Chain A
Amino acid sequence: MTGSILFMLIIVLGGIAWFFGRVKASRFSADNKKRGAVHSLPNYHGWYVALWAIGPALLFLMIWNMASPALITDAALTSPAAEQLPRDPFARGAILAEARSIASGQQVQAFNPLSQSMVEPYRTAISYYRTLGMVAALLLVFACGAFGWLRLKPELRARTKIERVTMLLLLFASLIATITTIGIFVSLIFESARFFSMVSPIDFLFGTEWNPKAVAGPRGETGFGAIPLFWGTVFIGAIIAMIVAIPLGLMSAIYLTQYAPPNFRAWMKPILEVLAGVPTVVYGYFAALTVAPALRDFAVSIGISGASSESALAAGVVMGIMIIPFVSSMADDSIAAVPSAMRDGSLAMGATKSETIKKVLIPAALPGVVGGVLLAVSRAIGETMIVVMAAGLAANMTANPFSSVTTVTTQIVKLLTGDQEFDSPKTLAAFALGLVLFIVTLLLNLIALRVVKKYREAYE
């Protein structure tokens, strides 16, 4: 019997427990006609018994699953075959791991004959402990279920107890977000720390040569200078993409909110939002297939040197277009938040609509727009697929938009795909880059949210 079948069985038994609890509780209300004599509905009594039946058993299984591997290894080591194992802990561990994966069916053939000899002890130990755990879990279901059932009384506050458990469940669910955040932070820090024990943070953050090698060069250089990546990221995400997205997004928002007839607005807004819904891999493909070659041909025709088929411009322009709806909706919100009295005041003096927009609305909405742009930048620099597919891998420090540059996200993908050893600085470098990216986007977001919040408060 595998784990999932055992799990199902326990759940089914829980259902049966629910039924028995309900039946017993139904009799209470039949016997006690007096108002308030039975505290909770039969349903809650049912749940009460079911929780008693399932809860301890599942908890036990969880602990058992964590503890049993160690017990199994101990048991396997007491077998006669274990005496032939080498003393060296490293070799010993490898053999044991192999034997274990064969015994549990993940691997078919052993490479090391010693492992093969350990398979049988492992198999016995595993089946012994698995049966033991299973029997114990099922006994727990019955014992605890019966205990819960016996505790049912008319005045038992079953509803209150069930609600308390539900409450814990709610609290646990909302903690997952926090756990995830902490998980991201800890795992990035942890892996980065291992990276920085091999490569100095100074070399990493301020070095200008990016050419990662697994082994250090003759003068100790490792090629982990991330400045070209930072530059590429900023060049594409914060400069080129914003040059495209800010004017287009801002002007679209202004036109849609201030000039467009309602019908046009009702149609156009969702259409522009589609731009944000197109998967980035589609943009990336489009940039690489259509935009980049067109831009290269254009650059060659006007005689720009260094034009390559993967260019910062292609990636940046397409990314900018992806960001348009984002900038536009932030600008929309900010302009809508400006009190209409300000607008009316300007119009009443005889200013034209565009003068009102340029001289009154935009300056008043500026903090909100700036906050929106910061959020857009944070999104652009974290964007991966477009740059992976269209920006290239060459770590150039160039301001020529027609040449190829590389970014932080591109390099993370490059370092982590393909064959990887988990201890190589090349693999760990990806986590260091991820940490930098995480911190920068986090800061941008916090600043942007603060700016936007301050701005909103100013007009409330």
Chain B
Amino acid sequence: MNSSATFVEERNPTDWQNDAMQQRIRKRYAAERRFKALGISAIILSAGFLAFLMIVMVGNGLRGFTQTELPVEIDFPAMTGGASADQFKGANGPANLRTLGVQDIVNTSVQIQYGEEGSELFSAGGWQAVNQEILENPQIVETKTTLYLPVESEIDVAFKGSGSETAENKVAELKDRLSTGFNWNFLTNSDATDPMQVGIWGALKGSLITMFITLLIAFPIGVLSALYLEEYAPKNRFTDLIEVSINNLAAVPSIIFGLLGLAVFLNLFGLPRSAALVGGLTLALMTMPVIVISGRNAVKAVPPSIREAALGIGASQMQVVFHHVLPLALPGILTGTIIGMARALGETAPLLMIGMRAFIATPPGGIVEPATVLPVQIFLWSDEVNRGFVEKTSAAIIVLLLFLLTMNALAIYLRNRFETRW
């Protein structure tokens, strides 16, 4: 190409006003608007999905906190042969109650009012509510009382929404007698085969115990390693190895931790299956890197001038770290810890590996007893065929999300409240 020729060639001034140019500019602006619309629709789509998920869960789940009830009139004086209220007060109450045969009393009362097949209308464990009622309010055994007992699951489902044909028919039949009450069982019971009797307390307690163990192990280890890596570690290959393993652990799929727990804690150390102890240990290994990483950032944010000041008046390195650096970094470390714990609280897969999926009908009493946790309970209920479990699953999800929301809000509050600007 002849460069001197192009150089001397005169160029006509651009006519910005001509039609072609104007049209081009209009097109470019249209493209700009389209691009912007694309961006906002991406956000709306993502947020919309979140909203949809929440609405579905809340819509399904709120029903799980209520139960459909039928009134049962129980003529206690006639049926018990004149039991007195005093028998059921105090420490001997429960024992005396057992000899009373409440289940039979309830069954007979039901059959009197709802016919021979009447018992089938009610949830099999419903009579236990009467037990509870007597212990709380013994006076009722001396009177003729009407109590509201939970109906059988199919009818419950049909009454709340739409159920099977037979159940719908029964609902139509009993229409004016059915009522809705708050399902206290759901907050106080554990797993059961009858969806009317299930509760989350067992799983929740398991979760709390597991989280406690996780925190007890992951927090000190995480904080101490963060301090070591930021304040002491010499720069060498050995330190690099530690750093690489921490960053790597933070990205390892959670199910791998479950495999580790299974191979090491269960098979090698012989710890009990399904126990909160093993679950807590496994989740601690998973949470620790999160705490280390956030802890290191918090420690790094403490200005060196503070360290110099303390060193300058003769504090030892250890005193500098534990008197000054750690307290100043603590809000940041705590924020990271809460976020890590929230993640652990929602974790399911590794716990399935170590057997925390057992049917737990009584809340765990200790760290080595069989336990399950809330997310695993959700998983187990989601597998149930009985339609009554759908709303229970969603209700459990609501409880889990509430916990997570609270924890995250706490983390955000801590971050805003104690974020130091130097």
Residues of A within 8 A of B (CB): 159-160, 163, 166-167, 169-171, 173-178, 180-184, 187-188, 190-191, 247-252, 254-256, 258-259, 268, 270-272, 274-275, 277-286, 288-290, 321, 324, 352-355, 357-358, 375, 378-379, 381-385, 388-389, 409, 412-413, 416-417, 422, 430-431, 434, 437-438, 441-442, 445, 449
B251 CB within 8 Å of chain A: yes
User: Do B38 and A251 have beta carbons less than 8 Å apart?
Assistant: yes
* Contacts beyond the supplied A180-B245, A352-B31: 17 A-B pairs with Cβ under 8 Å: A167-B318, A170-B225, A174-B242, A176-B225, A187-B260, A188-B259, A251-B42, A258-B39, A278-B50, A321-B49, A352-B29, A382-B252, A412-B255, A413-B353, A434-B256, A434-B259, A438-B253
Cβ of B373 to closest chain A Cβ, rounded Å = 10
Say yes or no for B324: interface residue by CB 8 A criterion: no
Task: Assess the B379–A278 pair: CB atoms within 8 A.
Answer: no
In the complex, the answer to whether A272 meets B47 with C-beta atoms within 8 Å is yes
Say yes or no: B346 contacts A281, CB within 8 Å.
yes
Contact A177–B242 (Cβ < 8 Å)? yes
User: For A174, what are the chain B residues with a Cβ–Cβ distance below 8 Å?
Assistant: 224-225, 228-229, 233, 242, 292
Shortest C-beta distance, B259 to chain A (Å), equals 5
B39 touches A389 (CB 8 A): no
Nearest to B251 among chain A residues (CB) is A445
In the assembled complex, the Cα of A417 lies from the Cα of B32 at a distance in Å of: 53
The answer on a CB contact under 8 Å between A282 and B43 is no
Inside 8 A of B121's CB, which chain A residues have their CB?
Answer: none
Q: Are A353 and B245 in contact (CB under 8 A)?
A: no
- A353–B349 contact, CB under 8 A? no
Find B342's partner among A181, A184, A277, A449 (CB 8 Å cutoff): A277
Question: Which of B220, B249, B263, B347 has the most A CB atoms < 10 Å from its CB?
Answer: B263
Q: Interface with A: B4-12, B170-178, B393-401, which one?
A: B393-401
Say yes or no: is B97 at the interface (Cβ < 8 Å to chain A): no
Q: Which residue of A lies closest to B376 (CB)?
A: A281
* 18 pairs from A and B in contact (CB 8 Å cutoff): A166-B318, A170-B225, A171-B232, A173-B228, A177-B288, A183-B260, A183-B264, A249-B42, A279-B348, A285-B394, A290-B56, A324-B46, A382-B254, A385-B379, A388-B379, A412-B255, A437-B253, A438-B252
Across-interface contacts of B268 in A (CB, < 8 A): 187
| Cα of A317 to Cα of B253 in the assembled complex, Å | 19
Is B267 in contact with chain A by the CB < 8 A criterion?
yes
- Pairwise interchain contact B53-A279, C-beta atoms closer than 8 A: no
Contact for B262 among A167, A379, A416, CB less than 8 A: A416
| B residues less than 8 Å from A176 (CB atoms) | 221, 225, 288
A358, B35: Cα distance in complex, Å: 10
Give chain B's interface residues, CB within 8 Å of chain A. 28-29, 31-32, 35-36, 38-43, 45-47, 49-50, 53, 56-57, 60, 220-221, 224-225, 227-229, 232-233, 241-242, 245-249, 251-257, 259-260, 262-264, 267-268, 285, 288-289, 292, 316-318, 342-343, 345-349, 352-353, 357, 375-376, 378-379, 382, 390, 393-394, 397, 400-401, 404, 408, 412
A441 to B46, CA, bound (A): 26
Given contacts A191-B263, A277-B408, A434-B259, contact A383 B382 (CB under 8 A): no
Chain A interface, >50% SS class: helix
For A449, give its contact among B45, B49, B247 (CB under 8 Å): B247
Judge whether B382 and A288 touch: CB under 8 Å.
Answer: yes
Residues of A within 8 A of B53 (CB): 278, 282-283, 286
Which residues of B lie under 8 Å from residue A249 when comparing CB positions? 42
Instruction: Please tell me if the beta carbons of A281 and B260 are within 8 angstroms of each other in the complex.
Output: no
Inter-chain contact A409/B349, CB cutoff 8 Å: yes
Given the complex, which residues of A lie within 8 Å of B259, measured CB to CB? Answer: 184, 187-188, 412, 416, 430-431, 434
| Shortest Cβ distance from A178 into B: residue | B245
Name the residue on B nearest A276 (C-beta). Answer: B343
| B401 → chain A closest CB, angstroms | 7
Which chain B residues lie closer than 8 Å to A175 at the CB level? 242
Residues of B within 8 A of A254 (CB): 39
> By the criterion CB–CB under 8 Å, are A177 and B42 in contact?
no
CA gap between A247 and B49 in the complex, in Å: 15
Partner of A178, one of B242, B260, B267: B242
CB distance from A271 to the nearest CB of B (A): 6
- Cα-based distance from A251 to B150 in the complex (angstroms): 51
